[in-house]
Amino acid sequence: MARPLSEEKRDALLKAASDLVARLGTGASTAKIAKAAGVSEGTLFTYFPTKDDLLNQLFIEIEARFALTMLAPYPLDASAKDRLFIVWSRLIEWGLDRSTSRKALRQLKVSDRVTLESRQRCHALFREARLMVEQCLAEHSAPERVAFYIDTILFDLADITINAIAAKPKERDAIRQAGFDLFWKGTAA
């Protein structure tokens, strides 16, 4: 191995892919992505053997960063509701701060180029966050519905809420609160 793969270039490629997939969908061409990353068309393929691979890596990378955000320590002494509100707020903030990532993710989620395996791997990344939420809901919700609330509702409801905020940025805090209230009340036993 003459030269090691450059982490810098890999990141630039993923960043460029994120931007372009967000804007153009998964049809964004590898040539454009390479150009936006400041590397040559061929180089893209030394970092990612195929475009599908790039897309899957991108998906995983974004989800991983997202999961990391959710992992920051939580005040253990706060009430379940307060702790859940912190989770909720982090979900919302991440989506608003990383709007490009979120848009890219939205495209990737509906694409059949992102494999089931990638999706499952990412699911696992949120285990800790999920456990946290589980604790919050333990005394609040009907036990048989907790899984549904967490796996199905929580993230997507946050997504919907982010969309609503994106449409009316001035009402940011009100919408965030309205979304949370809906979830909290809706999940009560």
Residues engaged in binding DNA (CB under 7 A): 1-6, 9, 27-32, 39-47, 49-52
Sign of CA dihedral 47, 51, 53, 56: positive
Cα–Cα distance for residue pair 144/129, rounded to 1 Å:
19
Instruction: Convert residues 17-36 into a mask of x (bound to a copy of itself by CB under 8 A) and - (unbound).
Output: ------xxxxx---------
CB-wise, 17 or 125, nearer to DNA?
Answer: 17
- Identity at 64, one-letter amino acid code: A
Stretch that binds a copy of itself, among 31-39, 83-91, 92-100, 110-118 (CB under 8 A): 110-118
Give the burial class of 111: count Cβ atoms within 10 A of its Cβ; 0-12 exposed, 13-18 middle, 19 or more buried: middle
- Is 149 a binding residue for a copy of itself by CB under 8 A? The answer is yes
Answer for which of 29, 46, 99, 163 binds a copy of itself (CB under 8 A) is: 163
Using rule CB under 8 A, residue 183 touches a copy of itself: yes
The set of residues, in sequence order, having a beta carbon less than 8 Å from that of 176 and lying 6+ positions away, is 88, 89, 92, 161, 165
Which residue in the set 32, 111, 119, 135 belongs to the binding site for a copy of itself (CB under 8 A)? 111
